[in-house]
Amino acid sequence: MWIECSFMVVFLTGITLLLFISLMNMKQSILIVTVYLFLAAPSFAQNLKVAVSANLQGVIKVLAKDFKERTGIVVEPIVGSSGNLSAQIKNGAPFDLFLSADMNFPETLYKEGFSVKAPAVYAYGKLIICSIQNIGFENWERLLLSQRIKKIAIANPAIAPYGKAAEESLKLKGIQDDIRSKIVTGESIAQINTYITTGVVDVGFTTRSLVKDMEGKTTLYWQDINPKSYTPIRQGMIITRQTRESAKALKFYEYMLSPAAKAILKEYGYGV
C-alpha cells in the first residue's frame, strides 16, 4: 500500500512538473527534471528485508556489509526466534527472505506455499555450553547437577532450534529432569546470550558464534557440546512469497551459498 501511494504521489507531482516546465526554457527544464528525479528515486528504492534467526544477530551485520559492497543492495535484518519469524511470515509479514536456525521451519513454509524457491542449507550450527565464570566444563553434566550451578539458560525448544538441540543433549545425558528447576528459558538465542553475558545465569546453552561476537568485549568460558548428542543444526533459508524484490532476493540467496559468505560464516564458528 505504501509503495502504491508513493508511486501515485510521484506520478501526479511529475505531471504537474511537466506542465510547469513546458513554459520554461530548455536549460531550466533539464535542471528541474534532474533535481526531481534525484529526489524521487528514494521513493522507489527498497531495502531487502531479511528475517534472521537470533543466532545470526552478530554475523548478519558482517554479511550485509559484504553483500552491499558487492552489489549495492542494502539488507535490513529483522531478528527473532525462528519459530516466531515463521509465524509472522504465515501472517503476511513483508519479508523478502528468511534465514532460519533449522530446516524444519523453511521446509514447512515451502510446503505450505509461503516460499517461491525450495529451501537451501547455508550453514551448520554448533552448540556450546558457556559462562562468564571460569568454572570448568571438563564434565559439564556433573557440573550442572552440582549445588554450584543455580541457573541454566536454554532457549525455548518449541521455537528456537538451539534450545531444541540443548534439550536433546540433556535428555541423552539423562539429567534433564534433575536440573529442570534450575532452567531459565528464553524466547530466542539472543535472549539466552544476554542472560549469559550479563551473569543473570551461571551457564547457558548457545551458539558458537557468541564467542566471536564477544571477542574483545567479554571473556567467555565455553566448551563444544558433542554434535552426536543432538540432531544436526542445518540452517536453511527461503525466498518468501511476499517478496516484491525477487531479483534482489535471489542475489542474496545465491550470495549466502557463495564462498565469500561461507568464509564469513566459518569465521563465526559455523560449519559450511
pLDDT, tens digit, 9 for 90 and up, residues 102-111: 999 999 999 9
**Residue 124 · residue 101 · CB < 8 Å:** no
What is the rounded CA–CA span in Å between residue 90 and residue 109?
A: 8
Amino acid type, 244? R
**Residue 70 · residue 255 · CB < 8 Å:** yes
Give the per-residue pLDDT at 46: 83
Average pLDDT over every residue of 63-74: 98
What percent of the chain clears pLDDT 90, i.e. is strictly above it?
Answer: 81
C-alpha cell at position 35:
533535481
**Residue 52 · residue 205 · CB < 8 Å:** no
Kindly tell me the sign of the dihedral angle through the C-alpha atoms of 25, 28, 31, 35: negative
pTM of the complete model = 0.79
Domain ranges for the chain, please list them: 2-44, 126-229
Q: How confident is the prediction for the chain on average, in pLDDT?
A: 87
pLDDT(15) > 80: no
Nearest to 96 by CA among 252, 257, 234, 235: 252
Give the per-residue pLDDT at 40: 40
pLDDT(84) > 80: yes
pLDDT(63) > 70: yes
Give the per-residue pLDDT at 41: 39
Split at pLDDT 50, 70, 90, the class of 10 is: very low
Split at pLDDT 50, 70, 90, the class of 177 is: very high
User: Which superfamily, per CATH, for 126-229?
Assistant: Periplasmic binding protein-like II (3.40.190.10)
What is the rounded CA–CA span in Å between residue 239 and residue 174?
A: 39
What is the rounded CA–CA span in Å between residue 73 and residue 64?
A: 9
pLDDT(202) > 50: yes
Cβ atoms within 10 Å, residue 104:
18
Spell out where the chain has E strands: 48-53, 75-80, 97-99, 120-125, 127-131, 152-155, 183-186, 203-207, 221-224, 233-239
Helix crossing, 246-255 with 59-71: angle to 10°?
A: 120
pLDDT(26) > 60: no
C-alpha cell at position 146:
552440582
User: Which 3 state secondary structure label does DSSP give 34?
Assistant: helix
Average pLDDT over every residue of 35-58: 70
Give the per-residue pLDDT at 25: 53
